[in-house]
A and B are shown apart, each in its own frame.
Chain A
């Protein structure tokens, strides 16, 4: 069964400290993985996707198929990074669309 696991509900770090938000997945086939972010009182928005291999707002995530992980990292956390982070994978549908399977989310709190 397809599943996304985020083991930490809450992660609290000091400003300037490194951050790693953990994500593990279970998927038969080649997964497409994403990180979504939801800032306070704002909508869910895509942060990054593994196929882009890009860095957004200083965050990176590497897909490790051997460990079935897609951890989100940032070397130096900023207070404005405080938000809810969701790891997700997409499952293609026959019609060409897809559905997103979300993890439970990790709330990141960056302290001054």
Chain B
């Protein structure tokens, strides 16, 4: 069964550095998402991406965040200047795109643990 993959599994960085988290969604999926889970807290929506542009973003997704699908397979989340509070598990997800009014299934990657020192 196809799966969403994410690299790296763990990223350690210094505060102020840029990081890029990578995801390979399932190949025929059209919608891509990033979620974040700070340790001990709930999984939170960050951004959705469709047709090569952001379709929705949360208030967490400020100017230091950006997403890109540079080559038709990878889907990346860039954090420009990391802060201590960016330390979290970041999950990528993708979905095929359901019929109108019917929610399809989101498939999640295993996550990247980001530690900002």
* Known A32-B103, A100-B106: A105·B42 in contact at CB below 8 Å: yes
Q: Chain A contacts of B98 at CB under 8 A?
A: 96
The reply to whether B100 and A96 form a contact with Cβ atoms under 8 Å apart is yes
Q: Chain B contacts of A25 at CB under 8 A?
A: none
Q: Chain B contacts of A42 at CB under 8 A?
A: 110
Chain B: number of interface residues, binned into ranges: 20 to 34
Q: Chain B contacts of A101 at CB under 8 A?
A: 45
Please report the C-alpha to C-alpha distance between residue A42 and residue B44 in the assembled complex, in whole angstroms.
Answer: 18
Closest residue of A by beta carbon distance from B98: A96
Answer yes or no: B105 CB below 8 A from chain A CBs. Answer: yes
* Known A43-B110, A43-B111, A44-B108: A102·B44 in contact at CB below 8 Å: yes
The reply to whether B109 and A43 form a contact with Cβ atoms under 8 Å apart is yes
Q: Chain B contacts of A93 at CB under 8 A?
A: 48, 55-56
Q: How far is the CB of B72 from chain A (nearest CB, A)?
A: 18
Q: Chain B contacts of A46 at CB under 8 A?
A: 105-106
Chain A: number of interface residues, binned into ranges: 20 to 34
The reply to whether A99 and B103 form a contact with Cβ atoms under 8 Å apart is no
The reply to whether B55 and A102 form a contact with Cβ atoms under 8 Å apart is no
Please report the C-alpha to C-alpha distance between residue A93 and residue B33 in the assembled complex, in whole angstroms.
Answer: 12
Taking CB atoms and an 8 Å cut-off, the chain A residues in 27-51 that contact chain B are 32, 42-46, 49, 51
Please report the C-alpha to C-alpha distance between residue A99 and residue B64 in the assembled complex, in whole angstroms.
Answer: 21
Closest residue of A by beta carbon distance from B57: A99
Q: How far is the CB of A22 from chain B (nearest CB, A)?
A: 15
Closest residue of A by beta carbon distance from B91: A44
Q: Which residue of B55, B102, B110 is within 8 Å of A97 (Cβ)?
A: B55
Beyond A49-B103, A98-B106, 13 additional pairs, beta carbon < 8 A: A43-B4, A44-B91, A86-B43, A90-B103, A94-B55, A95-B31, A95-B55, A96-B31, A96-B100, A97-B30, A97-B31, A97-B55, A100-B35
Pick 8 A–B contacts, CB within 8 A, sort by A: A43-B111, A46-B105, A49-B105, A95-B55, A97-B48, A97-B55, A102-B35, A102-B43
